[in-house]
Amino acid sequence: MQCLVQFKGLSLTTVSHASLMVGTLPMLLAIAAVVFAGERLHFGGWLALAASTFGAALIALSSKKASGVAHASTRGDLLVVLSMFAAIGWILISKRLMCRHSAVMVTALIFWIGTILLAMAVITTSGVPSLHYSTRAWIAVAEQGFFATASTTVLWNWGLKRVPASQAGIFVNLEPLVGAILGVSLLHEDLGIMALAGGAVIIGGAVYFSYKPEGSRPVGDTLPCD
């Protein structure tokens, strides 16, 4: 549901607007973790989350070009935000499941269920997809499936099992930062002062949550698994 709704929203708005909407996830996740998972986030944690979201907004707003001929629309923006609620449900449910099961097992089961449901949605709306693609295309798809999907989700769940969900969400805002870095290094795009400032704020928030001086309590506390 997250991917289907988010990609539909992306088709109706610009990349910059969609990135800005995704930047709301850490704050929404922190609120949901406090309300539904009983986690506690101190003032410094809330401040870091707000700063990270602001940093993601700076990077998104610094973009001078939108891909294709898409134009920003309220409907597209709202669909991207709606997909974030599916992401929140996925993260909180995964967090609970990994109290009793390994990150690899939870990831595998999620992928199997997601594949079946997505196949049903595709066949129902568009028919059986064609399998006649070049060897290069299949290799590219396999690489994305392994490196950009399976490996990253296992690593995400492995980390999520060890930190409160309210803190894990802030690392989502590293996505626009990494995208900006790759855009400059691989695609030779220009990165302005606003984007650089946003990247610095995001890194600062991530470091704040990662660095825990010896003898001090974590910024966020989570209740033990039942």
Span 178-194, pLDDT tens digits: 776 777 777 776 667 87
Q: Is residue 172 situated within a structural domain?
A: yes
Q: Is residue 52 situated within a structural domain?
A: yes
Average pLDDT over residues 42-47: 80
Cα 80 to Cα 22: distance, rounded to the nearest angstrom: 7
The secondary structure of residue 214, as a DSSP letter, is T
Q: Specify the residue for token string 């599916």.
A: 86
Q: Is residue 114 situated within a structural domain?
A: no
The candidate with the shortest Cα–Cα distance to 2, out of 146, 178, 153, is 153
Q: Is residue 137 situated within a structural domain?
A: no
Q: Is residue 123 situated within a structural domain?
A: no
Two tokens, residue 116: 């079946």
Is the per-residue pLDDT at 30 higher than 60? Answer: yes
Q: Is residue 153 situated within a structural domain?
A: no
The structural domain count of the chain equals 1
The candidate with the shortest Cα–Cα distance to 18, out of 89, 83, 64, 69, is 83
**Which structural domain range is residue 207 located in?**
2-98+161-221
**Poorest-pLDDT segment among 116-120, 147-151, 153-157, 212-216:** 212-216
Per the DSSP assignment, residues forming a β-bridge with 220 are 41
- Percent of the chain exceeding pLDDT 90 equals 14
Is the per-residue pLDDT at 200 higher than 70? Answer: yes
Residue 109 — very low, low, confident or very high, per pLDDT cuts 50/70/90?
A: very high
